[in-house]
Amino acid sequence: MTEQPTSETIAQMHHWFAVECNNSCWNLMYKADRTPEDDRDLLYRAYAAAYHWSYAGTPLNGARAELTLANVHSQLDHSDLALHYAQLSLDYFENNDCEDWDLAFGHAAMAYAAAVSGDADLHAKHYIEAKRRGEAIANEIDRTIFMESFNQVPTEVIRRSL
């Protein structure tokens, strides 16, 4: 009979998979020549990270996982889900202690989701706030990381042809 892992080992495994799925998701998100298979993998990684954070993380980790889901859904043109997860993460960041970059990323996710959904007013509001907060991030490395990600957010609403 196979020995079952201890609860401590399981917690460590959840943490490892949460970090690994999250980081690989962000790396894949900005891959220049993503294929449809990469897109499927991206979505799976984002949900896997959220799942593992739900066992190994704090509510802040959960909000950051929702932020990742918002960005992935925006990139995949899933506007309703993008808006849903962006709002969840931003609500958390606005009402709890977090890093300065969390709020910048939260507004950037809302701007991206609004661009994909075609809501110009919502996009403009959050794009301006994300840029303002991003430029104010105290740590230079964090600010650089944010700005690299923020540069992927559309500067205007994405117009779809019918």
Task: Tell me the mean pLDDT per 10 residues along the chain, length 162.
Answer: 88 96 93 94 98 96 98 96 98 97 98 96 97 98 96 84 46
pLDDT for the residue numbered 1? 63
CATH number at residue 55: 1.25.40.10
Q: Which residues contact 149 (CB under 8 A, 6 or more apart)?
A: 30, 105, 108
Q: Which range marks the domain in which residue 37 is found?
A: 7-150
pTM of the predicted structure, to 2 decimals:
0.93
Q: Please indicate, yes or no, if residue 88 is contained in any of the structural domains.
A: yes
pLDDT for the residue numbered 30? 87
State how many domains the chain has: 1
Q: Please indicate, yes or no, if residue 157 is contained in any of the structural domains.
A: no
